[in-house]
């Protein structure tokens, strides 16, 4: 089941392997030079790749306070093999954030650039279309948890339509935290078919995306570290359920300040939502 970011609440992860606790975050500015971002975090110059080509396009990207991360990227010109980034880390659990944007005007059309992403040899994002999820010149952050047992994090980009492109990679020790299962049904018990969209915004940044329901369900990550997504101030989360006919069936909005959140006892849970059929 696909997971989407759902920054409803946060939980401090406590049970990391000792080696993982000693591992510093890895941040790479793909295709670009070393860069210190708006939060004082240092991103290494492009490293860890097995091939590909640098692609630089000057663009003003919405939803980020770090324009420099989105001016250069690395794409995969090889349609017969994946472009792989590999990073040596202690065995354990990690959260990987991938930073995307569609800044090339001729490909700012739905279906113009589509690719798959694997981590540790397993599919995490299939048929990814950055423009379809975020629009033109807009930041899109996609994240996934991985378990490392061979001493390295491996991230592969495989072309489907046009060349896969990545702007930045961030690897953080630990995992997202517990999950929230949203279960959407009609009054007669029939699962809702449709798409759950999400948008997270603050005074510093915004990002958005969507995921199709699987038998009426969407699994959300209750993210453990808001600062990893650049969220350090008051923010708002908006969720919106749209059925296959394009009707908005359900909406949810919540505002929160990370400094005032303390819910260490939160566990994985489920929420059942009944909506009227239109």
Q: Where in the chain is the domain with CATH 2.60.120.430?
A: 17-173
| Poorest-pLDDT segment among 32-36, 167-171, 237-241 | 237-241
Average per-residue pLDDT for the chain: 84
pLDDT of the residue at 275: 93
- 138 secondary structure, DSSP code: B
CATH of domain 179-274: 2.60.40
Say which residue, 144 or 56, is predicted with more confidence. 56
| Digit-coded pLDDT (tens) for 126-155 | 999 999 999 999 999 998 889 999 999 999
| Digit-coded pLDDT (tens) for 29-47 | 999 999 999 888 999 999 9
Q: Where in the chain is the domain with CATH 2.60.40?
A: 179-274
| Poorest-pLDDT segment among 80-84, 89-93, 252-256 | 252-256
Q: Which two tokens stand for residue 26?
A: 């890895």
pLDDT of the residue at 20: 44
Please report, for residues 224, 261, 262, 270, the alpha-carbon distance to residue 265 in angstroms, rounded to integers and kept in the order given.
12, 12, 9, 15
User: 3-class SS at 20?
Assistant: helix
Q: How far apart are CA 231 and CA 258, in angstroms?
A: 8
Say which residue, 93 or 19, is predicted with more confidence. 93
pLDDT of the residue at 6: 43
**pLDDT confidence tier of residue 266, bands split at 50, 70 and 90:** low
Kindly tell me the burial class for residue 14, based on how many C-beta atoms sit within 10 Å of its own C-beta (0-12, 13-18, 19 or more): exposed
Residues 174-185 have a mean pLDDT of: 76
Type and span of the H or E element at 156: strand 152-161
The structure's pTM equals: 0.66
Residues 10-26 have a mean pLDDT of: 48
- Cβ atoms of residues 76 and 51 within 8 Å: yes
Query: What CATH homologous superfamily does 17-173 map to?
Result: Galactose-binding lectin (2.60.120.430)
**pLDDT confidence tier of residue 223, bands split at 50, 70 and 90:** low
pLDDT of the residue at 270: 81
Asked whether the predicted pLDDT for residue 10 surpasses 50, the reply is: no
Say which residue, 177 or 155, is predicted with more confidence. 155
Asked whether the predicted pLDDT for residue 12 surpasses 60, the reply is: no
């Amino acid at each position: 089941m696909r997971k989407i970011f759902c920054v409803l609440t946060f939980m401090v992860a406590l049970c990391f392997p000792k080696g993982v606790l000693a591992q510093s975050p890895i941040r790479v500015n793909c295709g670009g030079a070393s860069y210190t971002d708006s939060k004082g975090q240092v991103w290494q110059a492009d490293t860890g790749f097995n091939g590909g080509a640098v692609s630089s396009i000057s663009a003003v990207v919405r939803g980020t306070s770090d324009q420099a991360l989105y001016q250069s990227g690395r794409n995969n010109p090889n349609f017969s093999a994946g472009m792989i980034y590999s990073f040596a880390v202690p065995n354990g659990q990690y959260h990987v954030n991938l930073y995307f944007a569609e800044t090339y005007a001729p490909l700012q059309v739905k279906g113009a650039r589509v690719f798959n992403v694997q981590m540790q040899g397993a599919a995490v994002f299939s048929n990814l279309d950055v423009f379809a999820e975020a629009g033109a010149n807009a930041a899109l952050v996609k994240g996934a948890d991985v378990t490392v047992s061979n001493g390295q994090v491996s991230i592969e980009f495989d072309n489907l339509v046009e060349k896969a492109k990545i702007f930045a990679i961030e690897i953080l020790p630990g995992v997202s935290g517990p999950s929230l299962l949203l279960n959407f049904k009609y009054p007669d018990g029939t699962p809702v078919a449709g798409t759950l969209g999400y948008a997270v915004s603050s005074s510093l940044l915004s990002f958005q995306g969507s995921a199709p329901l699987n038998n009426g369900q969407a699994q959300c990550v209750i993210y453990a570290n808001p600062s990893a997504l650049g969220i350090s101030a008051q923010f708002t989360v908006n969720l919106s359920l749209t059925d296959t006919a394009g009707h908005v069936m359900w909406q949810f909005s919540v505002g929160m300040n990370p400094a005032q959140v303390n819910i260490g006892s939160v566990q994985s849970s489920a929420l059942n939502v009944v909506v009227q059929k239109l």
